[in-house]
Amino acid sequence: MQLDLYNHPHFSIENIPFGVFKIDGQNPRVGIAIGEYVLDLGCWSSRFLSPEENTLFNRPSLNRFVSQGKDYTGKVRLNIQDWLVKTEKEIDQYRSFFYSQKEVQMCLPFHIGDYTDFYSSKEHAINVGRMFRGSEKALLPNWLHMPVAYHGRSSSILISGMPIRRPTGQVSPVNNAKPLVKPSEKLDFEIEMGFVVGKDSKHGKRIPIVEAEEYIFGLVMVNDWSARDIQKWEYVPLGPFLGKNFATSISPWVVTMEALKPFRIKGPEQIPKPLKYLQSKGEYHYNIEIDVSIITNGIETTISRTNTKYLYWNIHQQLAHHTINGCNVRVGDLMASGTISGKEKDSYGSMLELSWNGKNPILLNDGSHRSFLHDHDRVVFSGLAVSDEYSIGFGNIDTFIEPPLEI
């Protein structure tokens, strides 16, 4: 039977996303997703590229390949597309280059040195502010002037398919008693989109808005898990710690900026006008829909459908702000958008908002209710950008929640 590579909503020939995979007993290596398959770029490059180039793909991360620069990575991507088009009718003779996505194990695509999490959705910031500070103080004074962020933990970034364990930590005291150490009762997901840095910058130098795209290789979906009750007790005065650092899940395929170019759109009007170093003109936002489902007892319920177009601060502004003080970035660094929420309830990007901190539990299709996530729930994100001609997808982030460890 001939390989069917050319009709897939997520991994179309217009996409060509890069990732890292392995087969049992073999070392991880670089591939691309096409249709239901993974093209082994180690095999492909041994036939069509030089021996020096071939070494870029027999590696456990994309870092070395991406560090060759956008001119090179863009050329390789186009060469793969051209080869797939030209060999479509004869593709079966290259069957040994391909593996079914079901038979491979996906790995983290990059060695991630540093991880930064922004807070770039105005709707999300207002929702959270209203819950905890009231409508008049929903947005803090700095929010409309810069993309607020904190540094996360790169060691606990996990690939889709890896389970997470319910975290344990201190939660706030009740009736002025001592704080308790217990498993989180408010485990939550956060719908985010992250970008992967594709070029080193020099320490002491900033990256201007007009140069930001040179430093961004591509995007991945991000689920930046939160333990809301642990975070509430610990975050003053230094911000998130144990309530966030236990796990962050990402999608395995990195979708390039070149593939996403047709889906660029203008973002929301920014009032007041940002400071000069943050001013961006043109189409710097993206029209990418992300759906979230919870699977319970084998039954799936879609509980949110949001879109990256709702973000207030775009990725170019995020990178420009991150480096305005001379902070350098390195190939493989991950920067996430923060929770993405729209104006309507069904576009909210977290359980905290969807249930309004537990006041309005969500009815699932198996008849159960959720204010926050339960043990044995499965949470699935799916991201897709759609045009009249074709679609570009990110695949899924699929995560199972395991019970906590005994204290």
Residues 188-232 have pLDDT tens digits of 999 999 999 999 999 999 999 999 999 999 999 999 999 999 999
Q: Which two tokens stand for residue 88?
A: 């479509």
Cis? peptide before 404, omega within 30° of 0: no
47 and 93 in contact (C-beta within 8 Å)?
Answer: no
The average confidence (pLDDT) of the chain is 96
Strand order from edge to edge, sheet including 18-22: 98-100, 37-40, 29-34, 18-22, 105-107
Q: Find residue 32's DSSP bridge partners.
A: 18, 39
Q: Find residue 171's DSSP bridge partners.
A: 180
pLDDT confidence tier of residue 2, bands split at 50, 70 and 90: low
Taking residues 312-340, report their average pLDDT: 98
Residue 70 has pLDDT above 50, yes or no: yes
CATH dotted code for 18-107: 2.30.30.230
* Helix (DSSP H) and strand (DSSP E) numbers for the chain: 9, 26
Catalytic residue, from 124, 285, 316, 322: name it. Answer: 124
Query: Residue 146's Cα: distance from chain center in Å?
Result: 21
Q: What homologous superfamily is domain 115-402 in, according to CATH?
A: Fumarylacetoacetase-like, C-terminal domain (3.90.850.10)
pLDDT confidence tier of residue 175, bands split at 50, 70 and 90: confident
Q: Which two tokens stand for residue 201?
A: 């910058």
Q: Which two tokens stand for residue 151?
A: 């540094």
Q: What is the pLDDT of residue 1?
A: 44
108 and 62 in contact (C-beta within 8 Å)?
Answer: no
Q: Which amino acid is at 58?
A: N
pTM: 0.96
Q: What is the pLDDT of residue 44?
A: 97
CATH 2.30.30.230 region(s) of the chain?
A: 18-107
Identify which of 231, 234, 232 has the alpha carbon closest to the alpha carbon of residue 243: 231
Residue 340 has pLDDT above 90, yes or no: yes
> Cα–Cα distance between 383 and 222 in angstroms, integer?
10
Those residues whose C-beta lies under 8 Å from the C-beta of residue 288, and which sit 6 or more positions away, are 193, 219, 260, 263, 307, 308, 309, 383, 384, 385, 394
> Cα–Cα distance between 254 and 249 in angstroms, integer?
14
Residue 406 has pLDDT above 90, yes or no: no
Report which secondary-structure segment, H or E, holds 366.
Answer: none
> Cα–Cα distance between 48 and 56 in angstroms, integer?
13
Angle formed at CA 223 by CA 221 and CA 224, multiple of 5 degrees: 125
Residues 82-100 have pLDDT tens digits of 999 999 888 889 999 999 9
Residue 3 has pLDDT above 80, yes or no: no
Residue 264 has pLDDT above 70, yes or no: yes
- Burial label for 363, CB within 10 Å (0-12, 13-18, 19+), is exposed
Q: Which two tokens stand for residue 154?
A: 């790169």
**φ, ψ (nearest 5 deg) of residue 210:** -70, -15
CATH 3.90.850.10 region(s) of the chain?
A: 115-402
Residues 116-150 have pLDDT tens digits of 999 999 999 999 999 999 998 999 999 999 999 99
Q: Find residue 151's DSSP bridge partners.
A: 116
pLDDT confidence tier of residue 6, bands split at 50, 70 and 90: confident
Q: Which two tokens stand for residue 229?
A: 């009750």
317 and 285 in contact (C-beta within 8 Å)?
Answer: no
> Cα–Cα distance between 316 and 213 in angstroms, integer?
7
List b or e across 259-270, with b for residues whose CB sees 16 or more CB atoms inside 10 angstroms: bbeebbeebeeb
337 and 221 in contact (C-beta within 8 Å)?
Answer: no
Least confident interval from 2-11, 21-30, 218-227, 312-321: 2-11
Q: What is the pLDDT of residue 257?
A: 98
Q: At what angle do helices 41-48 and 70-86 cross, to 10 degrees?
A: 90
Residue found under tokens 């159960």? 368
124 included as an active-site residue: yes
> Cα–Cα distance between 260 and 211 in angstroms, integer?
18
Taking residues 258-274, report their average pLDDT: 97
